[in-house]
Every structure is written in structure tokens, then in C-alpha cells.
Amino acid sequence: MFSGSLVALITPFGQDGSVDGKAFAEFVEWQIAEGTEGLIPVGTTGESPTLSHDEHKQVVETCVKVARGRVPVIAGTGSNSTAEAIDLTRHAKQAGADAALVVTPYYNKPTQEGLFLHYAAIASAVDIPIVIYNIPGRSVVDMSVETMARLAGAHRNIVGVKDATANLARPLHTTIACGDAFCQLSGEDHTALAFRAAGGHGCISVTANIAPRLCRQMQDAWAAGRIADAQAIQLRLTPIHEAMFCETSPGPVKHAASLLGRSSAACRLPMAPVTAATAERVRAAMRGAGLLT
């Protein structure tokens, strides 16, 4: 089971807009050194919608190569085209990823039956653990607990969910419907601890891009029963969580990473550079959390 502090990785770009493979490899190595327990390349935070298929696959391959089995790699392989999602998931398996993170199809607005058939097709085509990525705010559709339970019961390799609904009743109902072995990871940094209290197993974090050690320490404190310590870290990180989403992600987190010298701030269009006000808010939050002097 995947658990603890996992990171939804940014994808660094060079000044010419190309993927900066060297910076990405160094960033992955830094994440592991700082204690991150799982790596998620080419998800939403990795700007997967603007990567070509070749770039997408290269980023996954680089992540797997650098990780060298030290921590699991859960490759983003979702698409609003089932055939495309199958292709990306097949590549993730061939590249050596430990699992695939498959987002609910966006724009199409499938029914619950459409969602079931989409994931069933991927699970039948590729023998790799699949984590459902349920993020209604981005995808418009919300997979129901009933559909998730139906999928988990029908396919042994559908093993969990990244839940970005921020609905803290959801993990309770998911545990009842899908069982304790179904891996539940928060996809919303603010709810990281509350999600654990409701039966979750960890968090796939945006904030961990810039505060990996603190995110790991918070998860470790919770697991060890040091609740007050975990809560103190969460309070320290809360202004960071707010700043990371004061504009559309990943603009703010890439700016934050640039302040640490870990990536350029560049995003690909249609993502615009962050405003001066956002840049100052990000810097202030990082100073408050002790990430910058």
C-alpha cells in the first residue's frame, strides 16, 4: 500500500520552453533525499495537458530511472480518451513504474457507467496497480463511492484513490464500501491530517514540492501518534497551502520552486506567469514557514 508523504511532481522547463530533464532528475533526487515516500510524475501539477506524448513518456522514464526502486513511482497516465489512457498506462508499466494514477475523464462528462467502463478497459488492458484520481474541480465529473467500489470489486489492480474532493466524509464511506485494503490518499494539502483521521493513508501533495521534509515529518508524527506535533507542522504549512493555490496551480508552486533554485518558474501556455502580488504572497508564506530567510 502507498502511504505517508507523496509528491505530485512539477515538470521543470528550460528557457526555451523544453522539458529540462537534468533539472527534473535533480529534483527527483532531492525529493528522495528529503524523505518523500512516493513520486507522481506528469499529473496535473506536472502540466501533463501541455506535454507531448514523447515528453510525457520521457518524464516517466526519467523518474523511474532516478528513483531506482528506492520509493514507488505512480505515473500519471490519465486522459479523456480511453485509448490514449491505455497507451500511456502501458508505457508506464514498460518503463517500470510501480502504479498508474488515472484521472477521471475531463471535458467529456461521462456518466457513472462511462466512468466504470473507462477504468475497466484500462485495468483489463494493463496489469499494473491503478489509483483512481477523483478531482471534480478539474474534471467536472465526480466518481461516486458506489462506482469506485464496483471497480475495486471487479478488478484486483484497481487499488486506491487520490481523493481531491476535500469531502472528509468521503474516506469513511469509501472504507466501508471498498475495504481497509483500498488505498486512500488525499489530493488536497489542507486536509492531509483530517484525511488520515477519517481513515486515509497519506497525501499526494503539491506543497511537498517545496517542503518535502516538513510534509514527511508531519506524516511520520501522525503515524507515530504524536498528534500535537503533526498538527503544529500542519499549522506551519497552512499559509503555504493557501499560497500554492492563490492562482491556478502549478503557477505558484513553480514560482516557489524557482525561489529555492530547484526549477525555473516557467509554465507552458495557457498557464500565465504569476502576478507580482502572487509572487510576493508565495515568498511571504515561504519565509513564514522557514523555507526562505
Determine the Cα–Cα distance for residues 161 and 283; give it in Å rounded to an integer.
32
Q: Is 133 noted as a catalytic residue in this protein?
A: yes
Spell out the SS3 assignment of 178-203.
HCCCCEEEECCHHHHHHHHHCCCCEE
Catalytic residue among 57, 65, 106, 133: 133
Do 190 and 238 meet the contact criterion of CB atoms below 8 Å apart? yes
Q: Which residues contact 267 (CB under 8 A, 6 or more apart)?
A: 13, 47, 250, 251, 254, 273
DSSP string, 86-126: HHHHHHHHHHT-SEEEEEPPPSS---HHHHHHHHHHHHHH-
Domain spans of the chain?
Answer: 4-226
Q: What is the mean pLDDT of residues 68-77?
A: 98
**What share of the chain in percent tops pLDDT 70?**
100
Q: Which amino acid is at 146?
A: E
Nearest to 59 by CA among 79, 37, 75: 75
Instruction: Tell me which of 3.40.1160.10, 3.40.50.300, 3.20.20.70, 3.40.50.720 is the CATH number of domain 4-226.
Output: 3.20.20.70
Catalytic residue among 57, 65, 106, 162: 162
Is the pLDDT assigned to residue 61 strictly greater than 90?
yes
Quickly count helices (H) and strands (E) in the chain. 12, 8
pLDDT of 12-32, one tens digit each?
999 899 999 999 999 999 999
pLDDT of 91-145, one tens digit each?
999 999 999 999 999 999 999 999 999 999 999 999 999 999 999 999 999 999 9
Q: Give Cα separations from 114 to 105, 110, 141, 158, 223 (angstroms).
A: 9, 5, 11, 16, 37
The mean predicted confidence, pLDDT, of the chain is 97
Q: What is the pLDDT of residue 1?
A: 81
Residue 254: CB atoms within 10 Å: 28
Is the pLDDT assigned to residue 35 strictly greater than 90?
yes
Is the pLDDT assigned to residue 180 strictly greater than 90?
yes
Determine the Cα–Cα distance for residues 49 and 53; give it in Å rounded to an integer.
10
Burial 41-70 (b: 16+ CB within 10 A, else e): bbbbbbbbebbeeebbbbbbbbbbebbeee
Q: What is the DSSP letter of 5?
A: E
pLDDT of 201-255, one tens digit each?
999 999 999 999 999 999 999 999 999 999 999 999 999 999 999 999 999 999 9
